[in-house]
């Protein structure tokens, strides 16, 4: 058995590293479709692209699975500030936070800078009322992983419009959840509560935040913040699903996927075009080496991960209704960087099985299986008892690009992208042949 595994895994690695279509597919997705916010015309083109790509990869069947999704439109937006001692407003680079509701006319108000949530919480409503609150919280660089730091900082994007509105604030500006040493703002979803007044919310880049911090320490800074975000009624969209039927256990499913939607800036190359093309490559390579997998391998390109996560819920609901047995779900949604290993979110006995295979991943330098994680889109499958896994690439630069105009094809490395696909394909092959 070990000799068979070695031969198959070597053959699969060689096929991907020598003949991968990942990079070409990613170029096609990012350059011919572009960014693909849920419910947009480009998201529909992305669905068509995904169906074609899976058919070209050799899927036995490809379907579009219905998903009702949120549809947010950004509209016109701007941020201008008047510095202490100046009579002139100057523009700043900004992006409205995703799913936020527009201000209509410009909101003009003084800026109140706070360093963190504790400092804000200590303020009385009369101190906040009528101000645009600037949360100057820096993305931490001293944590073990940039994803851990993202988890630490995400409340400043997700919660601040609500908590500021509750104290009578006029608007929110946040320092972007970014490791980039630049002036690029990073968007991402915020949460609006129907029962609480909606206020404009925007992110600015690190360089802009540095300048604004200095200005606020010198005296009163006035701001004019204009946003036009609008949440439309839910619209019909689709997950794209392609599969190779299992030769021995066709009713046992292994899911591998990424999310097809992106934010409406950049090209969604790392987040998550990379995960989509890597997942397609798993299917293509298995077909290319002539392997008839023991279990059904299903590629899912999920819709609506960024601002609603409804694609993952719709897929899990379908699996439950059809009584499908999923023995593993593997997601790639951490960028197309060099792989370091795979996170595992599953019972200890199943972790032990996968950890016994770690030596097979040494040629790909991806042997860290210590993290406990799966992914947003496959998360709902956990309620059905499905073991989850997530590809872990090098996280160093992911948040330089994440949710920003810099997330473009040119910032993805061809070899790294293929290496990640090879790691994913190796795990899928082993689970397909041996089960869990």
Residue 167's pLDDT band, with cuts at 50, 70 and 90, is: very high
What's the pLDDT at 4?
A: 81
pLDDT at 304 over 90: yes
- What is the percent of the chain where pLDDT is above 70? 99
Domain 75-228 adopts which CATH fold?
Glucose Oxidase; domain 1 (3.50.30)
CB within 8 Å of 307: residues ≥ 6 apart: 37, 38, 70, 72, 98, 99, 189
What's the pLDDT at 104?
A: 86
Task: Kindly report the CATH class assigned to 2-72+233-434.
Answer: alpha beta
pLDDT at 136 over 80: yes
What's the pLDDT at 279?
A: 98
CB within 8 Å of 171: residues ≥ 6 apart: 103, 107, 109, 132, 133, 164, 199, 200, 201, 202, 223, 225
* Omega of the bond leading into 272 within 30 degrees of 0 (cis): yes
Handedness of CA 142, 148, 152, 156 (dihedral sign): positive
What's the pLDDT at 92?
A: 98
What residue spans define the domains of the chain?
A: 2-72+233-434, 75-228
- Of 127, 61, 74, the residue nearest 103 (C-alpha): 74
Whole-prediction pTM: 0.96
- Give the mean pLDDT of 57-83: 97
pLDDT at 2 over 80: no
């Amino acid at each position: 058995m070990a000799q068979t595994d070695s031969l198959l895994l070597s053959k699969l690695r060689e096929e991907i590293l020598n003949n991968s279509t990942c990079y070409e597919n990613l170029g096609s997705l990012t350059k011919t479709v572009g960014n693909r916010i849920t419910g947009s015309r480009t998201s529909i083109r992305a669905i068509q692209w995904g169906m074609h790509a899976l058919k070209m990869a050799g899927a036995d069947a490809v379907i579009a699975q219905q998903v009702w999704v949120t549809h947010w439109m950004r509209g016109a937006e701007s941020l201008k500030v008047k510095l202490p001692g100046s009579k002139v407003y100057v523009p700043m680079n900004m992006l409205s936070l995703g799913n936020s509701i527009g201000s209509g006319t410009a909101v003009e108000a003084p800026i109140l800078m706070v360093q963190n949530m504790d400092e804000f919480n200590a303020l009385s409503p009369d101190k906040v009322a009528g101000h645009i609150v600037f949360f100057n919280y820096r993305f931490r660089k001293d944590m073990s992983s940039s994803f851990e730091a993202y988890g630490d900082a995400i409340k400043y994007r997700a919660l601040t419009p609500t908590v500021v509105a509750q104290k009578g604030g006029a608007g929110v500006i946040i320092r972007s959840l970014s490791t980039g040493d630049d002036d690029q703002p990073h968007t991402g979803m915020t949460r609006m509560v129907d029962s609480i007044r909606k206020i404009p919310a925007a992110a600015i880049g690190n360089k802009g935040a540095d300048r604004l911090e200095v200005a606020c320490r010198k005296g009163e800074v006035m701001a004019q913040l204009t946003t036009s975000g609008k949440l439309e009624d839910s619209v019909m969209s689709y997950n794209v699903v392609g599969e190779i039927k299992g030769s021995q256990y066709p009713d046992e499913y292994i899911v591998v996927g990424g999310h097809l939607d992106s934010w409406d800036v950049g090209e969604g190359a790392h987040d998550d075009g990379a995960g989509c093309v890597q997942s397609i490559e798993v299917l293509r390579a298995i077909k290319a080496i002539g392997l008839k997998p023991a279990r059904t391998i299903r590629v899912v390109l999920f819709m609506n991960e960024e601002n609603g996560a409804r694609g993952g819920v719709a897929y899990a609901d379908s699996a439950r209704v059809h009584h499908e047995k999923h023995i593993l779900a593997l997601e790639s949604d951490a960028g197309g960087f060099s792989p370091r290993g795979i996170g595992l979110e599953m019972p200890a006995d199943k972790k032990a099985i996968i950890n016994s295979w770690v030596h097979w991943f040494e040629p790909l330098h991806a042997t860290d299986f210590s993290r406990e994680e799966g992914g947003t889109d496959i998360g709902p499958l956990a309620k059905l008892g499905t073991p989850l896994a997530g590809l872990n690439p090098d996280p160093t630069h992911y948040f330089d690009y994440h949710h920003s105009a810099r997330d473009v094809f040119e910032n993805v490395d061809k070899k790294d992208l293929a290496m990640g696909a090879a790691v994913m394909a190796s795990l899928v092959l082993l689970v397909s042949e041996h089960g869990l």
